[in-house]
Structure 1
Amino acid sequence: MKVTETLNEGLKREYAITVTAAELDAKVEEKLKEAQPSVEMKGFRKGKVPMALLRKQFGQRLMGESMQEAIDGALSAHLEETGDRPAAQPEMKMTNEDWKEGDDVEISVSYEKLPEIADIDFSDVKLERLVVKADDASVKEALDNLAESPQAVTYEAKKTQAKDGDQVVLDFVGKIDGEPFDGGAAEDYPLVLGSNSFIPGFEDGLLKVKAGDEKDVEVFFPEDYQAENLAGKKAVFLCTIKEVRGPKKPKLDDELAKKFGAEDLEALKGQITERLEAEYSGASRAIAKRGLLDALDKKVKFDLPALLVDAEANQIAHQLWHEENPEVEGHDHPEIKPTDEHIKLAERRVKLGLLLADIGQKAEVKVTDQEMTQAIMNQARQYPGQERQFFEFVQQNAQFRQQLQAPMFEDKVVDHILAQAAVTDKEVSKEDLQKAVEKLEEE
């Protein structure tokens, strides 16, 4: 077997591989001898079929298998010897298309290899980490928001007309074409106007009612309503108003705290402080991560596989086109060509992706089984009642597991780098942090 380099340009490599007829024949012979003891054929005892007959019966099929194995083996040996890591599946084609049995096999193999990335000293990477403390005003604002939440608000009777945010206690009977329908009636039902818990138009129809009023509310069920027998139909609800109640904001005291699972008000304030500072820390980390990636993009330079850049640029252009044309759901649209801006963004993404992967590999960064299990469980919570089906989907879908693992691996690599970089903490206000986040989203 002979391997000859025919192209060595940047990351591009091309080789001519020749597998001799003698090598192929030897492989076929080896396979026939391996199979001979188990072959049964009429007129011969098991394992006693002559080799010439076996070759005539199975040689053609085994020739194809032997050819593929020889080529794959030659490529594997070459990659192991050179240390090349192809950026994508190598392209292979037979160059002597008029090949016939007894001829050598000539194959052309081409690929782009992944670049070799030098070790990096991160100690001269200077970053600023924004630190925000949860002040009393922020905690008070969060407490006020909790006090106004449906879980905390209570209602007391009022004599004035119902307005948005009030609670109306009513009996109602829904009818279609004058006939009541299943599930369309209730008594002493407490409905908060503006909660959008009923079909469109129902709550608006109860604005300005007072206790003792009787009112017919006319509505149309949505076309996509879950009950098909009601979808798109006109209904009239005969409503009797029992009581109109106005919202009463609770006091910021221990009783309110207990509604949210805390022992007392001070404990609730402590929980809020922790939650706020965790949110601030998450936003601060996102800003620091962007700063780190920007610094690495400027600091490190290496050749990029054109194949990966082209694929990423096409994906970016395609995604952005669909975002600008949301009415087009499929792929029946004109050809989308990446712009210079798309290509520049693709180069950054490919570069940083390869760089972080290389750093993580050298540092032996791993996503543990426990971390993956926790991530899968967190995802499963988004599908209440369908957790079992979700777990089965994850087990059977390696690509989804990879998509789940990739950002976790990236974050661990980022933490690894940040631990070595020159990071300075800077205490700022919540408003300054918000401005930094908004600037991040604009870029």
Structure 2
Amino acid sequence: MAVTVETLEKLERKITLSLPTASIQGEVEGRLKRLARTVKMDGFRPGKVPLSVVAQRYGYSVQYEVINDKVGEAFSQAANEAKLRVAGQPRISEKDGAAEGEMAFDAVFEVYPEVKIGDLAEAEIDKLTAAVDDGAIDRTLDILRKQRRTFAQRAQGTPAEDGDRVTVDFEGKIDGEPFAGGKAEAFQFLVGEGQMLKEFEDAVRGMKVGESKTFPLAFPEDYHGKDVAGKTADFLVTVKNIEGAHLPEVTEQFVKSLGIDGGTVESLRADVRKNLEREVKFRVQSRNKAAVMDALMAKAELELPQGIVQAEVQRLLEAARADLKSRGIKDAEAAQIPEDVVRPQAERRVRLGLVVAELVRANELQAQPEQLKAHVQELASSYEKPEDVVKWYYGDRDRLAEAEAVVVENNVTDFVLGKAKVSEKSVSFDELMAQN
């Protein structure tokens, strides 16, 4: 087999493959003979179909398969001999002017780029730190108390305030005309908790039972009800009932109501602290990891294999259509989403993947078994039966691969932070939790 390798541009290469026609024809005949032993055709007993008939029926498809297989094998062998790291699938086409007794093919493909990573000691990174204080624990307990609050009738003449559960009748009109969803009777909501638009809550806050009020309400441009989005309605609201909230005290009885038998207030606070610290750790890791990846991208030089970028574009488009389908969008599978919308994200993902892979390879930052085990156990620790969750991860190669990828990213993060100019920046618990 004669092989030539030609550089086209940037990462694109071309290999010319020459295959003896006799070897292709021999393989075709062999496959047809094997097929003749098992093929079923009307008018013939199994295994008794003449080879000429089998060749007439299946010859073209078998030849197509053989050529594909032979060219694929020849390409793999040629790429290995030339020590080429092929990125994506080659585009193969038959070439005219082959020598007598041979078939020639051109295989055009891309190779993985050389990744150059600059001096990480010059990278400047803000490393976040955060701690769980008693205030964070108190606020978390308040959330648990709110989840178990009870309501009681407020005294007659008492105005509605934040935290109250109010029952109202309302009707809205746009340009004097009612609209779908704009009217309700005996509708309940909690004041001050964002269940209604701000103008609606502001109007009801301070009203008493039996009072009515008319007020304007401007629907946001991105409101989920498209018929009223961006429009202003006039609402008439009447308060029918006001109930005040009662939050239970944090006692051992409250701890028991959470399903913790024999628990104390101190053990509940300790458990809340442990869960919050786990969440803080993951969020800080995520933020620091993002800062490290940005620093890596700034220090890296490489060409992007367009075939891999295009494959990533298609994956992102499929994910976007799947998301639309999950939201109940009709014909989401056929949604026309411009590639330009996702291409920057696809290019960043491919670039980052290649840079991280090079850093991992050059510095042996692969996930070690003990690291993977510790990470999975930490993920499982927040569940009621951690051992079952650990088995769930280790019982599926794809799930374990996802956990392994996180460990590798953590290794890369630690490695870069160990090299770069790092400035520690402390953020409050609330600030950390408020950011996605």
Looking at structure 1, the residues matched to 400 and 59 of structure 2 have their Cα atoms a distance apart, in angstroms, of 46
Per-residue displacement from partner, 1:205-243 (whole Å, max 9, x unpaired)?
A: 999565xx799xxxxxxxx99xxxxxxxxxxxxx997xx
Looking at structure 1, the residues matched to 14 and 408 of structure 2 have their Cα atoms a distance apart, in angstroms, of 33
1:288 is displaced (CA, Å) by 1.5
Alignment of 1:197-346 (within 5 A): 210=209, 245-261=243-259, 263-309=263-309, 336=340
Looking at structure 2, the residues matched to 55 and 421 of structure 1 have their Cα atoms a distance apart, in angstroms, of 62
In the alignment, what sits opposite 2:64? Answer: 64
Aligned 8 A contact 2:164 2:244 in 1: yes
Farther off after superposition, 418-427 or 270-279: 418-427
RMSD after superposition:
5.8
Aligned 8 A contact 1:122 1:417 in 2: no
Figure out how many residues of one structure are paired with residues of the other and give that number. Answer: 360
- Does the alignment pair 1:412 with 2:407? yes
Give the 3 Å change call, closer, same or farther, for CA 312–57 of structure 1 in structure 2: closer
Alignment of 1:31-430 (within 5 A): 31-35=31-35, 37-38=37-38, 59-96=59-96, 104-115=102-113, 129-147=127-145, 149-153=146-150, 155=152, 157-161=154-158, 163-164=160-161, 165-167=163-165, 210=209, 245-261=243-259, 263-309=263-309, 336=340, 347-357=347-357, 363=366, 408-423=403-418, 429-430=426-427
Show structure 1 runs of 5+ residues with no match.
173-183, 216-223, 226-238, 321-326, 379-390, 392-397
Question: How many percent of aligned residue pairs carry the same amino acid?
Answer: 23
Aligned 8 A contact 1:162 1:168 in 2: no
1:350 is aligned with what amino acid? Answer: V
Aligned 8 A contact 1:94 1:107 in 2: yes
In the alignment, what sits opposite 2:234? Answer: none
Give the 3 Å change call, closer, same or farther, for CA 192–349 of structure 1 in structure 2: closer
Looking at structure 2, the residues matched to 158 and 352 of structure 1 have their Cα atoms a distance apart, in angstroms, of 62
1:163 is displaced (CA, Å) by 2.0
Looking at structure 1, the residues matched to 123 and 87 of structure 2 have their Cα atoms a distance apart, in angstroms, of 28
Looking at structure 2, the residues matched to 28 and 197 of structure 1 have their Cα atoms a distance apart, in angstroms, of 71
Looking at structure 2, the residues matched to 41 and 112 of structure 1 have their Cα atoms a distance apart, in angstroms, of 44
- Give TM-score scaled by structure 1 length: 0.58
Looking at structure 2, the residues matched to 125 and 334 of structure 1 have their Cα atoms a distance apart, in angstroms, of 35
Looking at structure 2, the residues matched to 129 and 152 of structure 1 have their Cα atoms a distance apart, in angstroms, of 40
1:122 is displaced (CA, Å) by 8.5
Looking at structure 2, the residues matched to 131 and 410 of structure 1 have their Cα atoms a distance apart, in angstroms, of 23
Per-residue displacement from partner, 1:120-160 (whole Å, max 9, x unpaired)?
A: 9989988664332222333344444544x242355365233
SS across alignment from 2:4: strand
Per-residue displacement from partner, 1:166-218 (whole Å, max 9, x unpaired)?
A: 34699x9xxxxxxxxxxx999xx9986678999xx9xx9999565xx799xxx
Looking at structure 2, the residues matched to 4 and 50 of structure 1 have their Cα atoms a distance apart, in angstroms, of 42
1:292 is displaced (CA, Å) by 1.9
Give the 3 Å change call, closer, same or farther, for CA 90–17 of structure 1 in structure 2: same
Give the 3 Å change call, closer, same or farther, for CA 49–125 of structure 1 in structure 2: same
Aligned 8 A contact 2:85 2:111 in 1: yes
Looking at structure 2, the residues matched to 419 and 26 of structure 1 have their Cα atoms a distance apart, in angstroms, of 57
Aligned 8 A contact 2:37 2:46 in 1: yes
Per-residue displacement from partner, 1:287-324 (whole Å, max 9, x unpaired)?
A: 2202321333344434331344567689999999xxxx
1:152 is aligned with what amino acid? Answer: R
1:434 is aligned with what amino acid? Answer: E
- Give TM-score scaled by structure 2 length: 0.58
Show structure 2 runs of 5+ residues with no match.
170-183, 213-223, 226-238, 321-328, 384-391
